[in-house]
Amino acid sequence: MVLTVEDLCQMTEPAIIPVAGKTRLKNKINWVIATDHPNPKQWIRGGEFNLICGCNLKDNPVELVSYIDRLYSCGISGIGFGIGLKFDKIPQIIIERANALQLPVCEVPYELSFSRISQIAAENIINEQLKKNKRLLESRVIEDAIDGRLTIYDIAMRISSTLVCDTRFISHDDTIIAQVLCGQGLIKANYINEILDRRDVFSCTPTVKLEIIRQVDSLSATETAFISKMLLAARIILTRQDAVARERAQLSIDLLSEIYAGQNKPKDLMRKFAILGFSLNAKYRIIVIRSSSGILDETFQILRKTLPQHMLIGFENDNGVVLIPEETKDNKVNFLLSTLCTRLPDVTIGVSSPCEIKDLSAAVNQAKALSKIKEPGLKYPDNMNIESLLKSLDPVILQNYVTTLFTKKLTRELRETIEILLDCGFNIKQAAEKLGVHRHTIRIRIDRFCDVTGVDIKIAENRNKIWFLLKLAKTLDDSAN
């Protein structure tokens, strides 16, 4: 609210009495001055309330009218005429001329000093300007929060500096989101958790609250209103952060799903990698985590807490899937994955070789194959056996190869028998022991295999070919299952 002539008249004790120009008592007062100079125009900017006592005025109607005209031409908001020094009352000619000009003229009692009037007006004008600046500042806070130019830490800093208090935003699980300490509590690092009697708590969002600690016991109405504005700004920032986090999480899920499914459209992948802040020129590893009992929610939580945040983590077909930049220090990742293996002893973790974005489908196949190795633990490409190697290849290519060179359909029992026999180096006794059958049964199955395929596996040259094709066929069956 601006200060007017009417307001100033009501603020003093004894009161200033309007005697002329009463239709313009709503004139705004920009400042209060006191001068009896006959022509003060060079010191007046306009809007001043001019206090005079008439010491330099002559009791001459022409001069008095001329003086009022000069003051009016300066654009003053009104005149405070102090009586009791030279004039016992305001000359009538001044009142008449002021009424004609609609210029407020007020009688200032002898007991009321000019300095007191100036003090009252100055305090009101300055306080009003401070309120205006505060409103503007708070308005900019809201605008800056909406435009994304402020963080939640900026809001905590403003609250702490304005109210001289320790401030923190804390989530429902006691995670500190932002904290600014200015020594209003104990010196110990955890003092803010120990001081309860000087703590004020405000709800910011359903999951975040604001806590402040200061030496003053209570908050004024103005301070409470200020906190409300800051909470609104904080709520805007946190809501935007949640929306961005949800969008990023969904984009991460979509990206991992596309990579895992082999839907690697280079331009689309590049766009999503760029949005998520990943380098387009870097190489990446794919990690596939498989549990014999299936990946459970507990495993997911352990993954989230164990692996660094700059990785992408998700689940596909009950397998944990992680995308990790190659520049991540191997020893750190190995330690984290080893820790994960310790906490989840039935888990097999396949880690691919680093590759470019366009080759991620190959990395996925490799990590999948490594994760299918029966023994739990960390598995790198160096651990890859023939089965896992074949599983890392494109199943369509394998199917075409098998169809071309190995067209005869075999029973699962016959295929397993020949595969184990060849794994044992064509040692019939050892194969029989592994299968739990008589050696004569193995010989019968060898003859049956030769009849069905037309290939004599007693010939050493044929064994390698049949062994490889059986591994291919088994890989295709596993992929289909």
Give 223-279 as a DSSP string.
HHHHHHHHHHHHHHHHHHHHHHHHHHHHHHHHHHHHHHHT---HHHHHHHHHHTT--
- Among 13-17, 264-268, 292-296, 377-381, the minimum mean pLDDT is found in 292-296
Does 245 score more than 50 pLDDT?
yes
- Among 90-104, 384-398, 408-422, the minimum mean pLDDT is found in 384-398
Q: Which of the 8 DSSP states describes residue 385?
A: -
Kindly state whether residues 93 and 194 are assigned to the same domain. no
Q: What is the pLDDT of residue 237?
A: 93
Q: Which of the 8 DSSP states describes residue 18?
A: E
Kindly state whether residues 11 and 43 are assigned to the same domain. yes
Kindly state whether residues 221 and 328 are assigned to the same domain. no
Asked, for residue 421, whether it belongs to a domain, the answer is yes
- Among 36-50, 74-88, 95-109, 191-205, the minimum mean pLDDT is found in 191-205
Count the Cβ atoms, other than its own, within 10 Å of residue 208.
20
Q: What is the pLDDT of residue 186?
A: 38
Does 190 score more than 80 pLDDT?
no
As given in the structure block, the two tokens for residue 118 are 């100036």
Q: What is the pLDDT of residue 185?
A: 47
Mean pLDDT across the chain, nearest whole number? Answer: 81
Q: What are phi and psi of 417, to 5 degrees?
A: -65, -45
Q: Considering Cα of 168, then 169, then 174, then 177, what sign does the dihedral take?
A: negative
Give the integer Cα–Cα distance in Å for 145 and 465: 69
Asked, for residue 222, whether it belongs to a domain, the answer is yes
What is the bridge-based pairing of β-strands 377-379 and 199-205? unpaired
Does 234 score more than 90 pLDDT?
yes
- Identify the CA nearest to 54 among candidates 69, 68, 42, 44: 68
Tens digits of residue pLDDT in 199-208: 889 999 999 9
Using the CB atoms, write b or e for 378-407: b if 16+ within 10 Å: bbbbeebeebbebbbbebeebbeebeeebe
Domain boundary among 185, 212, 242: 242
Residues 6+ apart with CB under 8 A from 178: 151, 152, 153, 155, 156, 167, 168, 169
Q: What is the CATH number of the domain that holds 401?
A: 1.10.10
Kindly state whether residues 27 and 68 are assigned to the same domain. yes
What is the bridge-based pairing of β-strands 166-171 and 78-82? unpaired
**What value does the mean pLDDT take over residues 403-417?**
69
Kindly state whether residues 228 and 173 are assigned to the same domain. yes
Q: What is the pLDDT of residue 398?
A: 53
Q: What is the CATH number of the domain that holds 156?
A: 3.30.450
Contact at 8 Å (CB) between 139 and 226? Answer: no
Does 434 score more than 80 pLDDT?
yes
Give the integer Cα–Cα distance in Å for 355 and 333: 17
Contact at 8 Å (CB) between 70 and 53? Answer: no
- Among 34-48, 371-385, 388-402, 431-445, the minimum mean pLDDT is found in 388-402
pTM: 0.44
For the chain, give the percent of residues with pLDDT over 90.
25
Kindly state whether residues 211 and 327 are assigned to the same domain. no
pLDDT band at 256 (very low <50, low <70, confident <90, very high): confident
Q: What is the CATH number of the domain that holds 284?
A: 3.30.70.270
Kindly state whether residues 271 and 380 are assigned to the same domain. yes
Q: What is the pLDDT of residue 330?
A: 57
Does 215 score more than 50 pLDDT?
yes
Cα distances from 89 to residues 79, 150, 465, in angstroms, run 14, 60, 127
Asked, for residue 257, whether it belongs to a domain, the answer is no
Highest-confidence segment of 331-340, 347-356, 432-441: 432-441
Kindly state whether residues 356 and 430 are assigned to the same domain. no
Does 188 score more than 50 pLDDT?
no
Tens digits of residue pLDDT in 105-164: 999 999 999 999 999 888 888 777 677 666 655 567 888 888 888 999 999 998 888 888
**What value does the mean pLDDT take over residues 69-83?**
92
Q: What is the pLDDT of residue 271?
A: 87
Count the Cβ atoms, other than its own, within 10 Å of residue 116.
12
Give the integer Cα–Cα distance in Å for 7 and 171: 48
Give the integer Cα–Cα distance in Å for 48 and 33: 7
Asked, for residue 104, whether it belongs to a domain, the answer is yes
- Identify the CA nearest to 426 among candidates 461, 390, 476: 461
Kindly state whether residues 413 and 369 are assigned to the same domain. no
Q: Which of the 8 DSSP states describes residue 109?
A: P
Element spanning 319, H or E: strand 319-325
Helix count (H) and strand count (E) of the chain? 16, 14
Does 403 score more than 50 pLDDT?
yes
- Identify the CA nearest to 217 among candidates 193, 197, 194: 197
Asked, for residue 289, whether it belongs to a domain, the answer is yes
Kindly state whether residues 47 and 75 are assigned to the same domain. yes
Asked, for residue 127, whether it belongs to a domain, the answer is no
**What value does the mean pLDDT take over residues 233-244?**
90
Asked, for residue 437, whether it belongs to a domain, the answer is yes
Kindly state whether residues 385 and 437 are assigned to the same domain. no
For the chain, give the percent of residues with pLDDT over 70.
81
- Among 50-54, 280-284, 310-314, the minimum mean pLDDT is found in 310-314
Contact at 8 Å (CB) between 435 and 417? Answer: yes
| Total of domains in the chain | 4
Q: What is the pLDDT of residue 390?
A: 54
Give the integer Cα–Cα distance in Å for 152 and 160: 12
Give the integer Cα–Cα distance in Å for 103 and 82: 16
Kindly state whether residues 10 and 118 are assigned to the same domain. yes
Domain boundary among 371, 391, 411: 391
Q: What is the pLDDT of residue 112?
A: 92
Q: Which domain holds residue 334?
A: 262-391
Highest-confidence segment of 207-221, 287-301, 322-336, 429-443: 429-443
Secondary structure of residue 70 in the 3-state scheme: helix
Asked, for residue 55, whether it belongs to a domain, the answer is yes
Domain boundary among 391, 412, 444: 391
Element spanning 356, H or E: none
